[in-house]
Amino acid sequence: MDKELQELIKKLLTEKKAEWAIGYEKAYDEFSTRPAFVADPGDTSRLIFNKYCINNLGLYLTKLKKNKLAVVCKGCDIATVFELIREKQFKRENVIIISVACDGVLDKRTNKLLEKCENCQVKQPKGGDFTIGTAKNSENPKSFEDVSLFEKKSSKEKMEFWNRQFEKCIRCYACRNVCPVCYCPDCFALRSMPEYLSKHVDADKNKLFHMIRMQHVFGRCTDCKACDTACPVNIPLSILTKKLAKDAKELFNYESGADTDARPPLSTYDEGDSESDIM
C-alpha cells in the first residue's frame, strides 16, 4: 500500500494537479506516525499508512485552503472533508481525496483498536477521488449503546461524573486544536475584550468551556474522536461527541458529513423539528 500511495502522490505533484499533499510519515518510534506535508515529488518516499495513522488530516485543510491539495483520508475522515466543503471552507474541486482502506487504528495509550473502529461501516472508503487498498466493513451498525446507558443515569449521577472529569482538565485546548471543525480564527475561549471565559482553571470554568464548544460543533462534529484521543488527562469526550451524533440523528435525521448539500440542524427551521427541550 505504501508504494502505491507514494507513486500516486508523486504523480499528482509532478503533473501539478496538487501543490501540496498531506499524508502520514513515521514519527519517533515504530508505534507512532505524524502528519506529513509534501510539495516536492521527490520527497514522497517518506509517506506511509498503517494501523497507527490515527490523526484526522482534515484538520489541516482549512489551514492550507489557498492551495490545491491532495489529502490522505481514512473512510471516517472523509466525512470531515465533506463537512468542511458543506461549510464552504474550500471548493470540492480544490481537494483531491485519496481514500485508503483501513482495518482500524490503534490507540497508542492502550494498543487496542479504537472503539469507533469496531463497528466501522467505511473501512472500505467511499467518496474519494482515488482509493488504495481493500478492507471489509463491519457487519454491525454504529452503536450508541454506551450513550444510551449513560442517559439512564440520574441528573445527580451525570453531574457528579462530569464534575470529576472536568476537575482533571488543565485547559490545554488540545481538544479544540485537533478538532477539524473548530477553525474559528478568534476563539471565544481566548477573547479578552469581552472576556467570555476566565483564564482561571477550575471545574466550573472547564465545564463552561467544554459545554460551549460542544454546542458550537453540534450538527457539525463527525465524531472522529480526535479530541478524545488528544486529551492528556483522558477525559472521555467521546461520550459527548457520540451524544451529539445520536441527538442529531434522532431529532433531526441528520448525519454530519454524509451529504455536502444538507443544511446542519441548527441553521435551518422546519415545522416538524423536535421541540422537546422547550418548556
DSSP string computed for 164-208: HHHHH-----HHHHT-TT---SS-GGG--TT-SS-S--SHHHHHH
Question: What integer pLDDT is reported at residue 9 of this predicted model?
Answer: 94
Q: How many Cβ atoms from other residues are within 10 Å of residue 137's Cβ?
A: 15
Q: What is the DSSP letter of 267?
A: G
* Model pTM score: 0.84
Instruction: From 53, 62, 138, 52, select the one nearest 99 (Cα to Cα).
Output: 53
For the cut 60, the answer to whether the pLDDT of residue 79 exceeds it is yes
Q: Tell me whether the omega of the peptide bond preceding residue 194 falls within 30 degrees of 0, making it cis.
A: yes
Average pLDDT of 109-123? 83
Is residue 5 within 8 Å of 23, Cβ to Cβ?
Answer: yes
d(CA 71, CA 58): 8
CA angle 110, 133, 222 (to 5 degrees): 55
pLDDT 10s digits, 117-161: 888 888 888 888 999 988 888 877 777 888 889 999 999 999 999
For the cut 90, the answer to whether the pLDDT of residue 271 exceeds it is no
Question: What residue has cell string 500500500?
Answer: 1
Band the pLDDT of 35: cuts 50, 70, 90: very high
Band the pLDDT of 162: cuts 50, 70, 90: very high
Is residue 39 within 8 Å of 20, Cβ to Cβ?
Answer: yes
Is residue 256 within 8 Å of 83, Cβ to Cβ?
Answer: yes
Q: Which helix (H) or strand (E) holds 95?
A: strand 95-100
Question: What integer pLDDT is reported at residue 111 of this predicted model?
Answer: 81
For residue 161, the SS3 value is: helix
d(CA 174, CA 69): 25
For the cut 80, the answer to whether the pLDDT of residue 224 exceeds it is yes
Question: What integer pLDDT is reported at residue 196 of this predicted model?
Answer: 77
Average pLDDT of 219-227? 87
Question: What integer pLDDT is reported at residue 219 of this predicted model?
Answer: 84
Instruction: From 86, 41, 92, select the one nearest 69 (Cα to Cα).
Output: 92
Percentage of the residues of the chain whose pLDDT score is greater than 90: 39
Average pLDDT of 183-204? 81
d(CA 35, CA 91): 22
Q: Where are the domains of the chain?
A: 2-132, 145-267
Instruction: From 17, 121, 110, select the one nearest 75 (Cα to Cα).
Output: 121
